[in-house]
Structure 1
Amino acid sequence: MSRFQFIRIRIIGLLLSGLGACLPLLAQTAVATPDTVRQSLPQLEQKFVERNFQLIAQRYQIDIADAAITQAGLRPNPNLWFQGNLYNPGTRKFLQYGPPTQADKDAGIYNSGYYAVQLQQVILLAGKRSKLVALAESNKSLARLAFRDIMRTLHYQLYTTYANLFYDLQGLNLFDEEIARQQRLLESYRIALRTGGVAAYEVTRLEVAIRDLQANSANYRTQIADDQATLRVLLRQPDKTFIMPTELPPLTTTLPALATALDSAQTNRPDIGLSQEQINNAQRSVALEKARRTPDLTTGLLFEKYGNAYNNFTGFQLAMDLPVRNRNQGAIRSAETTLKSVTGGLENQQIVVQSDVLNAYDKLNTYYAQLNARPDGYLDRIQNISVEATKAYNARTIGLLDYLDKIRTYQQAQLNNINLLNNLFNTQQLLNYTTNTRFF
């Protein structure tokens, strides 16, 4: 062995053997920032419930619907009407309401003190008030179901984003470790190149491999940035705090029975509840519009001084629109058409829900089969690929290309495992989402 080859082997061996102690530190510093906050999934979920803008806004919608129920139950206000003389041309006085003199009375002249007072009250007929309250209560039920549906969707988004961030950081750490490993190897090759111990193409080959790793690392960094942006919106967190996930719930491999999942979805999905309540709402709208065919009754009392058949006239009033032309035909037809439309929508929504559950169930079965197909000790042997390849390269029993190929195999195996665990967790959450049931 030549002196240059000996120096080359020693340099490479020392750098590679010392790299193992540095990799954990490099993995942490790759994503650590001064304002990093470590958050567990339950901690984020609590903040999400308290801060999320969409949930807060939908809670206000429930309060608005509750106020509408109160308003619908209120009866019409009575109407008070007053009429009096502004100017008396006989006496040339304004607002003259004093009693006439005895001489005016004897002469039959009552040209002062005229006024009339009328009190009216509208009475709703055909049960309109109770039907208005029933419709307002249905609107509140719709608002509550909409809140549950938003909660279900955002909860699923929070869980999957957290898991994506958790596994994206693992993928980033994997590539950053490999970049650090191969950059040290590249530096040793550049030293050996100056002494003639290696060929120039070997240095170039290492540079290309590092560029490829850097591109993959950049992709993961952009995905992590997207994850952080989604979490900031979900948590309504305006600052630039980096949320560092701590852990995920333990992996569960028990799959619920398909019939149980389907029944849970049909019972618990708020969008099915929305479709059912829309039918109820439409039925109440039809009942209200039919009740509006009956005109309301206006009753009243009238007192008139000096202006009717005799002084101090007191009378009663009854008034009602005659339903000759307008019997609310258009509004009734519109409400009945809406009822037909939403009735068909319920059946369609039930089919959609069933399809969603079957889709999630099939995906989860696929990932379970992939997980269960792994032989015993598979993950330990993946780790051994990197260790054994490094030992073989240090011992010069394999060349650079063979070494890089083994390291690439190690990287791909690790990525496959990361992606499998991420897909498995997200699909479990998808089944929870499609059934609105916490199976996992």
Structure 2
Amino acid sequence: MAHFRFPTFLRISIFLGWLGIISPVVAQPTSTPPSTLPVADTIRQSLPQLEQLFVERNFQLLAQRYQIDIADAAITQAGLRPNPNLWFQGNLYNPNTHKILPFKTPSQADQNAGIYNSGYFAVQLQQVILLAGKRSKLVALAESNKSLARLAFRDIMRTLHYQLYTTYTNLYYDLQGLKLFEDELGRQQRLLESYRIALQSGGVAPYEVTRLEVAIRDLQANSANYQTQIADDQATLRILLRQSAKSFILPTELPPLRTTLPALATALDSAQTNRPDIGLSQEQINNAERSLSLEKARRTPDLTTGVLYERYGNAYSNFTGFQLSMDLPVRNRNQGAIRSAETTLKSVTSGLENQQVVVQSDVLNAFDKLNTYYAQLAARPAGYLDRIQNISVEATKAYNSRSIGLLDYLDKIRTYQQAQLNNLNLLNNLYNTQQLLNYTTNTRFF
């Protein structure tokens, strides 16, 4: 069957329209946001700039820093000794003399007669003395709590850093993916307009126009999917940075891609040494041991000492005495609290062993994923990206010369799109998995 050929002016306009805006989609810095995204409040940020803002503004980091300050104040409080207790007693009303607050010294005649209707008061000063080293054990426990707060801060920092890096990378490649579909959508819309003109003169079949309209709908759906992903990325970054809701954060560049892996043994050792969650598990054991030591010390009652001065109310007129008091540990020897502390110690000890297994598994998982993506990158033949670009160019030439039909042409364009998307996804996965290895080892290998 003979192929219908477009009028010359139409074929040239279609061909130039396609060739003029074809550009390869590879890992290059993004300079402008896609046309469908807001640009009025666009903030161009490199990853180092974003990281600096994150450290200064992130609410969770600021809140956890306050927890460290709170724990530091608790150390100061634990080291304070109990306050002394001052007690005073006097006569409010004497019914014999009908006088209020009769503190005047009685006359000598009354004293000789043994009558003391005024002048009585008593003063007592007491001090609690903590025994069995309770104060030092309280300080040690408070210091351990501060260490836990610091480790929790490091763990939050590690997790949020990973979220920041991966979100930035996702946004970077989501914008490139959206740009790919926007460019393709513009080309096919221009082609559709040309076909509609040709349809009026009977130059093309109606089904070809309909087929192009369907292809454009597919492109619009893919573009919308990327826009929603970009919206999610922006929402995450706004929370991480406490950024204004009106601003659009535009990533400018990614660090150069490194394709060398650290040794597995090095990664495992780094994780066991540097992971704050391992440190948390170890410090929880230390904390539980100190808590148990404190509970055992509380079996010993504290000693209360004091001095008492009493005027006109004891064996003689001016009585000065000393006091010692202590609870007798007959029934309550803190048995329940000790047993609870012992159980907590057993629990956190087994928790450390489990956490070490989890950390090892995390590192192996990240290592295996990264090896897979490196192998996929290395398997790409030389000149692969250039040949991808040629698919679109050659398909356009062939279609304009009517060497291929519309369906064959759209199939080649879909192949071009999928190849570009596969490239973007591979690079995105590589960067994110490198950050995953950094995250699982808490070491900046990349």
The TM tier, using the shorter chain, reads over 0.9
Letter in 1 for 2:14: L
TM-score (norm 2): 0.96
Distance 2:19 2:319 in 1: 108
Distance 2:263 2:225 in 1: 38
Q: 1:27 to 1:203 in 2, by over 3 A?
A: farther
1:359 maps to 365
Return the match for 1:233 from 239, 250, 256: 239
Distance 2:35 2:244 in 1: 24
Distance 1:280 1:221 in 2: 49
Q: Does 1:204 align with 2:210?
A: yes
Q: Does 1:60 align with 2:66?
A: yes
Return the match for 1:273 from 254, 279, 287: 279
2:191 maps to 185
User: Alignment partner of 1:316: what SS?
Assistant: strand
Return the match for 1:336 from 317, 324, 342: 342
Instruction: Tell me how far 1:103 sits from its aligned partner.
Output: 2.1
Instruction: Tell me how far 1:15 sits from its aligned partner.
Output: 3.2
Letter in 2 for 1:56: L
Q: C-alpha offsets along residues 271-294 of structure 1, whole Å, 9 cap, x if unaligned?
A: 000000000000000000000000
Instruction: Tell me how far 1:387 sits from its aligned partner.
Output: 1.0
- Structure with the higher fraction of residues in helix conformation: 1
Distance 2:108 2:352 in 1: 80
Distance 1:67 1:176 in 2: 57
Letter in 2 for 1:293: R
1:96 maps to 102
Instruction: Tell me how far 1:108 sits from its aligned partner.
Output: 1.8
Distance 2:132 2:51 in 1: 49
Q: Does 1:243 align with 2:249?
A: yes
TM-score (norm 1): 0.97
Q: Does 1:434 align with 2:440?
A: yes
CA contact (8 A) 1:16 1:181 kept: no
User: Alignment partner of 1:121: what SS?
Assistant: strand
User: Alignment partner of 2:158: what SS?
Assistant: helix
2:10 maps to 11
Structure 1: which 5+ residue stretches go unaligned?
none
Moved more, 20-29 or 392-401: 20-29
Return the match for 1:311 from 307, 317, 325: 317
Structure 2: which 5+ residue stretches go unaligned?
24-30
2:113 maps to 107
Q: C-alpha offsets along residues 206-241 of structure 1, whole Å, 9 cap, x if unaligned?
A: 001110111100000000000000000000113320
Paired residues in the alignment total 437
Letter in 1 for 2:16: S
Instruction: Tell me how far 1:401 sits from its aligned partner.
Output: 1.4
Q: C-alpha offsets along residues 4-46 of structure 1, whole Å, 9 cap, x if unaligned?
A: 9442x53243133134445689974233521111111111100
Q: C-alpha offsets along residues 104-128 of structure 1, whole Å, 9 cap, x if unaligned?
A: 1232211101000000000000000
Distance 2:257 2:32 in 1: 28
Return the match for 1:42 from 40, 44, 48: 48
Q: C-alpha offsets along residues 371-413 of structure 1, whole Å, 9 cap, x if unaligned?
A: 0000000011111111111112222222211111111110000
Q: C-alpha offsets along residues 148-189 of structure 1, whole Å, 9 cap, x if unaligned?
A: 000000000000000000000010000111100000000000
Distance 2:438 2:279 in 1: 17
Write out aligned runs for 1:413-432 (5 A): 413-432=419-438
CA contact (8 A) 1:26 1:177 kept: no
Q: CA RMSD in A?
A: 1.5
User: Alignment partner of 2:324: what SS?
Assistant: strand
1:292 maps to 298
CA contact (8 A) 1:30 1:173 kept: no
Q: Does 1:372 align with 2:371?
A: no
Q: Does 1:258 align with 2:254?
A: no
Q: Does 1:405 align with 2:404?
A: no
Over the matched positions of the two proteins, sequence identity in percent amounts to 83
Moved more, 16-25 or 296-305: 16-25
2:226 maps to 220
Distance 1:106 1:289 in 2: 57
